Amino acid sequence: MTTIVSVRRNGKVVIGGDGQVSLGNTVLKANARKVRKLNNGTIISGFAGSTADAFTLLDIFEEQVKSSNGNFEKGVISFSKLWRTDKALRRLEAMMIVADKSKSFLISGAGDVITQDDDLLAIGSGGNYAYSAAKALLENTDLDAEEIVKKALTIAGEICVFTNNKFTIESIEA
């Protein structure tokens, strides 16, 4: 349970996430880092779901990109196939948003590989709130991608009890 949102605007992609880790209705940690740079800083990732599962998946994702000779899109597809078909991996419960300088994808264990239609993606318990806020800001302001991510996460945190205001935000310039 978390909120991760990705916005792409004016040659920059930004992924941000809150820091709350919950177990049922109890907050266990307030400042977890759910957004990370991978592949020597050329890829940003954000995850929602079981933390241990997500860390395992991030490591495997990075390996798949490297084994695809750095081809990001090929690595995403290869990773998704592996996640969906491997008996141990398909039990892992998480969702991920990954982005490089030109493309962003939402990846799930159900085999979903979704690209953005409107320069944004969001996942997690507060994902719909953050998505709605970011969409409104993209369409009605000239704010940069990072400010949109911050404001969308703030709004999600005000609505979703599983989202807090301790953000990790990473970006890549195109």
Catalytic residue numbers read: 2
CA-closest candidate to residue 8, choices 74, 95, 139, 99: 99
Which residue is associated with the tokens 């953050």?
Answer: 130
| Cβ pair 41, 60 in contact under 8 A | no
Q: Return d(Cα 54, Cα 46) in angstroms, integer.
A: 9
Task: Count CA atoms within 13 Å of residue 89 on its CB side.
Answer: 20
70-80 burial: b if 16+ Cβ within 10 Å, else e: eebeebbbbbb
